[in-house]
Amino acid sequence: MNALLLLLFLLIAGVISIGLYMLLTAVLSRLNAKALTQRGIATQATITAVKEKQLPRGLLACGISYRFHVVTSSGTTREYVSQEAVDAEAYKHLKVGDVIWVHYLPDHPQVVRRTEALARMPGRKIGE
């Protein structure tokens, strides 16, 4: 009986942990999007990879990798690399070597998102 209660407790704790992780991830993503639309700096990025992965039930996950350059406060240029999920329609039109626009946070350039994705978010206008 004790083993069953322990197993039930661990299962519930696991479900709660996953739920909290998903909630925190969603909140952080929205906060980053808000900061990017308000304070983000636009720059060009070059696509370095396009990827697709077959998911269960016939779903397809699509993504891209890209690199962009940031001029630091000391005047040197630093390269950053990022990955981002894209919808199937955008995926069809993107290829390695394409140049896209991205917005990054000047104080945290690793926080970056495609300008197109930011512009499509409800209630978000770039620069506001």
Whether the CB-CB separation of 43 and 70 falls below 8 Å is answered with: yes
- All structural domains of the chain: 2-120 (2.40.50)
Buried b (16+ CB within 10 A) or exposed e, 68-107: bebeeeeeeeeebebebebeeebbeebeeeeebebbbbee
Q: What pLDDT shows up at residue 27?
A: 60
Query: How confident is the model over 65-115, as pLDDT tens digits?
Result: 999 999 988 889 999 999 999 988 888 899 999 999 999 999 899 999 998
